[in-house]
Amino acid sequence: MPTLADLGEFEVIRRLTAARSLRGTGVIIGAGDDAAVLRPGAGRDLVVTADSFVEGRHYDARWMDAETAGRRLAIANLSDMAAMAAEPRWALHSCGARRDQSIEWLLAFERGLDRALGQHGAVLVGGNLTAVDGAAWSDLTLMGEVERGAAWTRSGARAGDRIAVTGWPGRAGAGFLLASRIGEAAREPRWRDVFHAWTTPASRVALARALAPLRAVTAAVDLSDGLAGDLAHLCAAGGVGAVLDAARWPEDQELAAAAEALGVPLETLRLGPSDDYELLLAIRPESFEACLDVARSLDVPLHAVGEIKPREAGVSWHGPTGTTPIVAGGFDHFGPGGRPIQE
């Protein structure tokens, strides 16, 4: 199996670009020239995000093969597009690869990226390749478009808005913790949903694009840190408080079983560090049913789990034993208490 050192930079780039799909529209000049030339649609704003994966920190060969890791990096970026209600369009992939890495590994990583992006209408239009001596890394910049002035933001939530989440927040963190604590047993069928929430999260782009025209979402953030941390971001940006209601939370037997196996309260998994790439939305109450209908039509789980409150109310969790303040404990790479989810 040839390594990158066996092939040399230009042959590696040739193989990478030859394997890329070119389905994207608006690509005037794609990969192969000094830079790509792209043409956004008339009357649309450009939306740009980037995310990086570092070998050993964000992916681990024991748990994710190259294609799965590449797909997951794409989902991390697509999730930011969903949080802005943007349509993904074009991506740049830059990576630092070790000389002893196999070309198959790199091609499979790019295949994971390319397929996940392609499923959402985006295409790789370029990037950069450099050799590194330490851990390999990968950086994806994703560009998208949204109707002018219509991007969702973290600010804008108002007291009385419903707080809704897609999917089952906390599962990704639980999957990671199970893999860390019980090793191979985390692959058992009983942990299938939490394990896959970690390794192969879903993208919520289609839901965001379908909800956007309703003008019902007043604020949005994707769950890349953990619910407590991301809700704190949304509340701080909007100058509001929030209360989450345990009784309204969707039942999640597998997460409850994981909490028991890990010896932690279920709420700790639901609120704590977890990169689920689900959406946390504030929705006008009068439009919530219409949003539910859209989510049902796309087969995306959407649940109201709380309500936006005035700032003075703070951010709290209402459970069977009373109401307690939520301490933001999401993923802070550099903070004093920061503990990366994939440490």
Which parts of this chain interact with Mg ion (CB under 5 A)? 80, 222, 224
Instruction: Output 31 or 47, the one with its CB closest to Mg ion.
Output: 47
Dist CA 214 CA 207 (whole Å): 12
Query: Considering the complex, what minimum distance in angstroms separates the CB of residue 152 from Mg ion?
Result: 11
Nearest-approach distance from CB 266 to Mg ion, in angstroms = 25
CA 281, CA 308: separation in Å to the nearest integer? 10
Instruction: Choose between 203 and 316: whose C-beta lies nearer to Mg ion.
Output: 203
Token code pair at residue 24: 């994207």
**Which is closer to Mg ion, CB of 233 or CB of 318?**
233
Q: How far apart are CA 278 and CA 172, in angstroms?
A: 10
What strands lie across the sheet with 137-147, from one edge to the other? 44-54, 137-147, 87-98, 123-132
Shortest reach from residue 326's CB to Mg ion, in Å: 19
Q: Which is nearer to Mg ion, 141 or 287 (CB)?
A: 141
Burial degree of 24 (CB within 10 A; 0-12, 13-18, 19+): buried
Indicate the angle between helix axes 171-182 and 192-199, nearest 10 degrees.
Answer: 100
CB of 21 to Mg ion, least distance (A): 26
Residue 269 burial (10 A CB sphere; 0-12, 13-18, 19+): buried
Q: How far is the CB of 233 from Mg ion (least distance, A)?
A: 9
Cβ-based nearer residue to Mg ion, 51 or 55: 51
Tell me how far apart the alpha carbons of residues 148 and 144 are, in angstroms, rounded to a whole number: 12
Smallest gap from residue 87 Cβ to Mg ion (A):
16
Identify whether the C-beta of residue 86 lies closer than 8 Å to the C-beta of residue 121: no
The nearest distance, CB 49 to Mg ion, in angstroms, is 7
Task: Give min distance, CB of 238 to Mg ion, in A.
Answer: 16
Q: 80 vs 252, which CB is nearer to Mg ion?
A: 80
Nearer to Mg ion, 126 or 272 (CB): 272
Q: Which residue has the tokens 């379908």?
A: 210
> What CA–CA distance (Å, rounded) separates 249 from 124?
38
CA distance 275 to 339: 13
Question: Based on CB atoms, which residue is closest to Mg ion, 55 or 80?
Answer: 80
Whose Cβ is closer to Mg ion: residue 47's or residue 291's? 47
Query: How far is the CA of 223 from the CAs of 73, 245, 296, 334, in angstroms?
Result: 14, 18, 21, 18
> How near is the Cβ of 272 to Mg ion at its closest, in Å?
17
